[in-house]
Amino acid sequence: DVKVTQSSRYLVKRTGEKVFLECVQDMDHENMFWYRQDPGLGLRLIYFSYDVKMKEKGDIPEGYSVSREKKERFSLILESASTNQTSMYLCASSSYGAGQGVIDTQYFGPGTRLTVL
Amino acid sequence: RKEVEQDPGPFNVPEGATVAFNCTYSNSASQSFFWYRQDCRKEPKLLMSVYSSGNEDGRFTAQLNRASQYISLLIRDSKLSDSATYLCVVNRDSGNTPLVFGKGTRLSVIA
């Protein structure tokens, strides 16, 4: 079974703090993703990575950065946390599909519920 | 037009009912299609992939109509345990591009 783990289930931080969210997958997947999920807005892609040291902006990258130094680990960094970054953060990973580099199923971690006060 | 659109529901159905969810997507170049299920306060989990010819997994049937850019999920003989939010998921373009998730349709199966 694919396993994606996230460093914390619940996190409370203060405005202005630097926040690190860690994600580790054990299936040697090339692709990793960070999303946030908010009521009424669904899942929104923050950043993704197709390989070590590679990163691509998603739909809402402002206020976030990422790091992928090892294939199995993808970190999301909130440089200076703000109250509007209170959300559920979900990490996911996937391999490539069987044909023509089409993306395969994404597997999600359990999520980190971040509250910024 | 939104990338992936779903009826938000909620759908409230009695046990044993058949329920259908529909989804439309905007990019005709999309190649990967899925239905995910998300339980309350849990992460999304793959329910099934959707193939061009349509596919079935037990009580669940998925259909894809590329010409209409339309995906459906049919659940037969609904169980209480089917209560969840069902997410329609499509890759945003051809090739290895990120997935786009619909906002989901909430299903409540009532005894």
Q: Would you list the DSSP string of A46-85?
A: EEEESSTT--EE-S--TTEEEEEEETTEEEEEESS--GGG
Q: Is the pLDDT of residue A46 over 60?
A: yes
Q: Is the pLDDT of residue A103 over 80?
A: no
- Give the amino acid at A104: D
Task: Give dist(CA A59, CA A47) in Å, integer.
Answer: 8
Q: Is B78 exposed, middle or buried (0-12, 13-18, 19+ CB in 10 A)?
A: buried
Please give the DSSP secondary-structure letter assigned to residue B80.
Answer: G
Q: Is the pLDDT of residue B52 over 90?
A: no
Q: What is the pLDDT of residue B97?
A: 82
Q: Is the pLDDT of residue A104 over 80?
A: no
Beta bridge partner(s), residue B16: none
Mean pLDDT of chain A: 92
Q: What is the mean pLDDT of residues B22-43?
A: 93
Percent share of chain B, pLDDT over 70:
99
A105 touches chain B (CB under 8 A): yes
Residue B82 in 3-state DSSP?
A: helix
pLDDT band for position B1 (cuts 50, 70, 90)? low
Report which of B103, B98, B106, B104 is spatially closest to residue B27, judged by C-alpha positions: B98
B28 backbone φψ class: left, alpha, beta (φ>0; ψ -120 to 50) = alpha
pLDDT band for position A97 (cuts 50, 70, 90)? low
Q: What is the mean pLDDT of residues B85-111?
A: 91
Q: What is the mean pLDDT of residues A70-90?
A: 97
Of B31, B42, B46, the CB nearest to A102: B31
Q: H or E element: which one contains A19?
A: strand A19-25
Q: Is the pLDDT of residue A99 over 60?
A: no
Q: Is the pLDDT of residue A1 over 80?
A: no
**Test mutation, B99, B103, B106, chain A, max A CBs within 10 A:** B99
Q: Is the pLDDT of residue B51 over 60?
A: yes
Q: Is the pLDDT of residue A101 over 80?
A: no
Of A104 and B107, the structure prediction assigns the larger pLDDT to B107
Of A48, A103, A105, the CB nearest to B46: A105
Of A64 and A100, the structure prediction assigns the larger pLDDT to A64
- Give the amino acid at B72: S
Mean pLDDT of chain B: 93
Percent share of chain B, pLDDT over 90:
79
